[in-house]
Structure formats: structure tokens, C-alpha cells
Amino acid sequence: MPGPETGKLPRACRALAAVALLFFLGQPQAQVLQPNAAQLTLCMACHGPQGNSQIPLTPSLAGQPKVFIENQLVLIREGLRDIPQMKGLLDGVKDPEIVGLATYFSAQTPAKVSGSANSATYQRGLQTSQRMLCGTCHLPDYSGREQIPRLAGQQEAFLLYAMKQFRDHPGLGRDTIMAASLYGLKDADLVDMAHFLTYFK
């Protein structure tokens, strides 16, 4: 959901500032600080060991593209994404520390999903994902790239929640391409896709 307006700068100025920060983070000369134990412990309290979430509505960070993690952390820190559970957690975290956190979690191996897929739901999700060309941006193995997230093996409940948010609540801090791509899909379609992506083989 869009974040509330904070600070004295107009929202447009804050957005431009965030873009500038994202540009900075993408530069090869950006300093990288190793995340300290306290930072990692705080992240893993919700996102799980090595970033493999064990909480249905909390996304896994393990194996996510580094640039994607950097982008999201900056958007959250700057108030351009409003995630109540993370309110204030990134206050004072410097750009090099964000790069360090992204570097760590992107290098972790995503855990295998427990349980088994429902074959009918999986096949419907596969067909919908193919029809929607999801693998074009997220790659055929749904591992993601650059600023595009990994979907394969992600928490099923989180995937469903995120897709509904994109479809129903487009706005600041949300990918407009995703909002447009999911427009008009029924809840049942999103349920099938979330199941397919979670158990993707």
C-alpha cells in the first residue's frame, strides 16, 4: 500500500530522492558494509533463518535479486512503501548497510517448499502464468532478475496477498506494470498462480 506522507518534503521530491538513492546503490563504487549480527537477527526474526520465511504472510528474502532487495529497502526506509511491520526498523540505516543486507540475503539458498502441490490447481496456475507471460520478466524459472523479484518457492499466502494488492490497490511504491498485468484477473486465477509459483519445479 502507498506509504503516508512524512517529513517536510513534498511526496514528489521524496520520490525523486528515492530514485537518486537507487541510482547510487546501483553504482559499482558504492561501499558495501557487512551486515552486523544485530541487523541480521532483526531481519531473520520475521523473514526466517537465512531469509527463508516460516511465516505465511512474510516473504522469503533468500535468493532474491540483490537490486530488488536494495530497491525495496530504500522504498520502505523513505516511506514510499508503507509496511506497518517494518515501521521504523530502517530508520538510520545507511545506504552501504542496505547494500550489505541485500548482498547477504541474495546470496542465500532458497529452502525447498514443504508439502506437495495440488495437481489440478498447479496446472491451472501454470496455464494462467503462461498466458500472462509471467516468465518474460521473472524469467522462465521464476528466479527473478535485477529489480524483478524471485517468485519460485515464495510463501503461497504472501504471493496471493501481494498479487491482490497490485491488482486492487495500485499506487505509489507499487510496480505499475504489475498492476496493469493483473488487472481483471479473478481471485481464483490469483489463487492458482500463487499455488503454482510456490511449488514451481
Which of 161, 147, 150 has the alpha carbon at shortest distance from 194?
161
Of 9-13, 23-27, 136-140, the least confident: 9-13
Residue 137, marked binder:
yes
DSSP labels, 167-188: HH---TTS-HHHHHHHTT--HH
Of 6-20, 143-157, 178-192, the least confident: 6-20
pLDDT of 12 reads 44
Helix (H) or strand (E) holding 103: helix 95-106
Q: Per-residue pLDDT tens for 109-133?
A: 999 999 999 999 999 999 999 999 9
Q: Are 75 and 18 in contact (CB under 8 A)?
A: yes
Q: Per-residue pLDDT tens for 161-177?
A: 999 999 998 776 677 88
| 43 vs 185: CA distance, rounded Å | 33
Joined together, the cell numbers standing for residue 23 give 541510482
Residue 47, marked binder:
yes
Q: 148 phi and psi, to 5 degrees?
A: -105, 125
The percent helix, strand, coil of the chain (3-state, each to 5) is 55, 0, 45
Of 14-28, 167-181, 186-200, the least confident: 14-28
Residue 13, marked binder:
no
For the cut 70, the answer to whether the pLDDT of residue 25 exceeds it is: no
* Cβ within 8 Å of residue 187, ≥6 positions away: 164
Residue 169, marked binder:
no
Q: Per-residue pLDDT tens for 38-87?
A: 999 999 999 999 999 999 999 999 999 999 999 999 999 999 888 899 99
- The domains located in the chain, with CATH, are 11-106 (1.10.760.10), 119-198 (1.10.760.10)
pLDDT of 31 reads 65
SS3 145: strand
Exposure string for 105-144, b = 16+ CB within 10 A, e = fewer: bbebebbebeeebeeebbebbbebbeeeebeebbbeebbb
Using alpha carbons only, how large is the chain's radius of gyration in Å? 17
Which of 142, 139, 136 has the alpha carbon at shortest distance from 193?
142
